[in-house]
A and B are shown apart, each in its own frame.
Chain A
Amino acid sequence: MAVRRIDVREKVMAKNDELAAQVRDRLHTHGVPSLNLVSSPGSGKTSLLERTLDALGDRLRMAVVTGDVQTQNDADRLAVRTDRLVQAVVTGGACHMDARQISAALDQIDLEDTDLVFVENVGNLVCPASWDLGEEAKVVIFSVTEGEDKPLKYPRMFERSNFCVINKIDLLPYLPFDMDRAVAYAAEVNPDLRFFFTSALTEEGMGDWYEFLVDLADTEREARLEA
């Protein structure tokens, strides 16, 4: 039997990228920046968000889309800190979140009544790097218990991120972690990375992070009002 070849030439991620572009447009229309938080499991994404919601809850209306794989735990921890904004997306064993999930989550958020959207991605330094979620920026969180060479081991994630939060700095006195080397490795992979040095536990260094978030939300809102 004859075999017929059909030309396709279609990018595998095209569908996701199209949806991500729609998400991005939608957020821009409402003047709402979004940050995609990525990290390995246990680096402190949820703790960082808890602190942030506590500290900035009076100044910013923050929504969180969370991608816990197996439980409602992260969503439950965040739900006590923000009355109406947490949307849980449970990915059922998947290793990443995709733009379709974000699009569906945004349907449940009143963007006119929101200043900033956080996406708490699945804890994984590999797969989430491949999925554009329509975010304004990726923030890679990297804790000092993980070893300085994480950026070299997972370069794609650090390349694709705009910001790097080095977390758990309260533990530095007890660890052989070399901060200069960690920063140098991350900057080697991505010279444009901007760093924050935080402890979500003691709140050390969180001031810079808060200031950055408030500026980001203000800038985006002003840009929208001028448009």
Chain B
Amino acid sequence: MHELSIALDVCRIAEEHVGVDALARVTAVGLDVGDRAGIEIDNLEFCLEALLGSAPFGSGRPEIRRLGGEELSVTYVEVEDDGGS
């Protein structure tokens, strides 16, 4: 039921790592989610698809690795190079 809150936190973490200007170029956000993390994974994926696919993001996708245990973490963010700096 709280997957949207979690998804918003995932977006916050992504922003902290890539900076607000690069959000539109995020192509993927990797997550590890345990089966005992209290998360409905399909629901989280749905929320992240919606958030990462709209402004300030562009066309990002969640890439969720399902694990055992209580793990709930963001593992990586993939960003398209802007061709410049």
A94 to B31 alpha-carbon distance, docked (Å): 23
Chain B residues positioned under 8 Å from A15 (CB to CB): 9, 12
Interface residues of A in 176-227 (CB under 8 A from B): none
Interface of B is mostly: mixed
B77 at the interface (CB under 8 A from A): yes
A167 to B77 alpha-carbon distance, docked (Å): 47
Q: Judging by beta carbons under 8 Å apart, are B74 and A10 in contact?
A: yes
Q: How far is the CB of B5 from the nearest CB of chain A, in Å?
A: 7
A138 at the interface (CB under 8 A from B): no
Contact of B77 (CB < 8 Å), options: A1, A8, A127, A129:
A8
Chain B residues positioned under 8 Å from A98 (CB to CB): 5
Say which size band chain A's interface belongs to.
20 to 34
A40 to B76 alpha-carbon distance, docked (Å): 36
Q: Which residue of B lies closest to A95 (CB)?
A: B1
Q: How far is the CB of A77 from the nearest CB of chain B, in Å?
A: 25
Q: Judging by beta carbons under 8 Å apart, are B73 and A3 in contact?
A: no
Q: Judging by beta carbons under 8 Å apart, are B13 and A12 in contact?
A: yes
Chain B residues positioned under 8 Å from A61 (CB to CB): none
A62 to B38 alpha-carbon distance, docked (Å): 32
Q: How far is the CB of A158 from the nearest CB of chain B, in Å?
A: 13
A94 to B2 alpha-carbon distance, docked (Å): 8
Q: How far is the CB of A157 from the nearest CB of chain B, in Å?
A: 9
A130 to B80 alpha-carbon distance, docked (Å): 33
Contact of A12 (CB < 8 Å), options: B6, B18, B30, B78:
B6
Q: Mark A64-98, 1 if CB is under 8 A from B, else 0.
A: 00000000000000000000000000000011101
Q: Judging by beta carbons under 8 Å apart, are A96 and B80 in contact?
A: no
Chain A residues positioned under 8 Å from B5 (CB to CB): 94-96, 98
A58 to B51 alpha-carbon distance, docked (Å): 51
Q: Judging by beta carbons under 8 Å apart, are B73 and A11 in contact?
A: yes
A13 at the interface (CB under 8 A from B): yes
Contact of A9 (CB < 8 Å), options: B14, B75, B79:
B75
Would you list 13 pairs from A and B whose C-beta atoms are within 8 A, ordered by A residue?
A1-B80, A4-B78, A5-B77, A6-B76, A6-B77, A8-B13, A9-B73, A12-B9, A95-B1, A95-B5, A126-B1, A126-B2, A156-B36
* 5 extra interface residue pairs, beta carbon distance < 8 Å, beyond A6-B79, A7-B75, A127-B2: A3-B27, A12-B10, A12-B31, A15-B12, A156-B36
